[in-house]
Structure 1
């Protein structure tokens, strides 16, 4: 009669290779148990380590965030068996660096290697080969990945222009502490770095990358805010200011708004899921709106539905709001 199954050793990570399991005293037979999931040939994960589909507040995660977390989980398993000449690339590299990209319809991860190396042929892994002069790599949180500038250019042939702009914005973003000129962290790269990446040589997507470059900004905080900025431009509205500190008549900081028209005292606030599920964020949003109103600012609150499902309705709201503040409708 078979005895009780021994628990996996605490020294074994959530994801692990066969050799790592053996080093902890776990044999191959134990890896066939129900509490172990086979991720790739030779790479496993504890069954309970699969990312939850709920956020920290118990709400359902946005599909993009669910996909990103699964990518990280699968990449963490794959790196246990990844050959030294291989690195993560494409949307997987973007996910590892927490850069915004639309998810693939599957959870396959993307890797690449430099010619003449052999690209791996593994189920669940999309692999490619690239010439050495067309790519740069780095290490991010223990993962070997294409550098953010290389990731941006390599995805240029794959992404629609708004998503390519959002990705580029995130690569060069300079996250500023509100009310100051200090940065929370240094940007991944500069606009000049992206220019240099394009100049490495011919490859698919260069025309799209060149179209995106002139409209990139280091002051956009999220993909929806990048998309909203492009919509305002498309509709012929004045070009907005980005990352704006809003102050009252005495100079007291009321808040920071990512997209605003200071000359008209109009602020556009994108309401992502965290604004809904975080009580602290919700309370702060209400207080911020109250203080903006007291300072004679108008706040246009933009939801995902307005921006993506009913953009013409949003356009009407934006135009009417600016006209209420004496915008002539002539653009800028």
Structure 2
């Protein structure tokens, strides 16, 4: 390592978009391997001490936006996209334990206050082990009266697909479904 990861993050503020600065910040605090122990507070400490780097204005906007414990850059981009559409308060990698199976699961982006979670499905979700685990996770949330929306790369790249997903989510939030109630 030639430079501390937070210094590299700080230096990139001049060169990349605000969204990508947040993606980079999240990637420094991954669930499996964090380069920044102490989370977002460490980002804030850097801003308090370093006043001379270019891109300070972008850093000031971005400093509170990264989240600890993320798993992928696409999940971060999805969370930011949801925020741009008014859905705030996301819980990143919400940990759950299914009392029936005993399995511990993490949901990519959860909105327990609205009764749903988002699961980004990259190529690894096609693997049999991942696929079966995903199905078990969906069943668990269903028993908790929560809904899971699967999101794929195409949904985030094509405006029409994203609008369809958002319409479905906002319909769910405004008229939640009830299990077994008729």
TM-score w.r.t. structure 2 length? 0.80
Please report how far the alpha carbon of residue 307 of structure 1 lies from its aligned counterpart in structure 2 after TM superposition.
Answer: 1.8
Please report how far the alpha carbon of residue 322 of structure 1 lies from its aligned counterpart in structure 2 after TM superposition.
Answer: 1.9
Unaligned runs of 5+ in 1: 1-138, 140-144, 176-183, 327-332
Please report how far the alpha carbon of residue 167 of structure 1 lies from its aligned counterpart in structure 2 after TM superposition.
Answer: 0.6
Distance 1:215 1:302, change over 3 A: same
Matches within 5 A, 1:1-332: 139=1, 145-173=2-30, 175=31, 184-185=32-33, 187-190=35-38, 191-198=40-47, 199-248=49-98, 252-253=102-103, 255-276=105-126, 278-310=127-159, 311-325=162-176
Please report how far the alpha carbon of residue 304 of structure 1 lies from its aligned counterpart in structure 2 after TM superposition.
Answer: 1.0
Q: Relative contact order (C-alpha < 8 Å, sep 6+): which is higher?
A: 2
Distance 1:187 1:255 in 2: 23
Please report how far the alpha carbon of residue 213 of structure 1 lies from its aligned counterpart in structure 2 after TM superposition.
Answer: 0.8
SS at match of 2:82: helix
Are the counterparts in 2 of residues 254 and 291 from structure 1 also a CA contact under 8 Å? no
SS at match of 2:70: coil
Q: Output the aligned Cα RMSD.
A: 2.5
Distance 1:155 1:186 in 2: 18
The structure whose residues are more often helix, as a share, is: 2
Q: How many matched pairs?
A: 173
Please report how far the alpha carbon of residue 248 of structure 1 lies from its aligned counterpart in structure 2 after TM superposition.
Answer: 4.8
Distance 1:273 1:146 in 2: 32
Specify the structure having the higher radius of gyration (Cα). 1
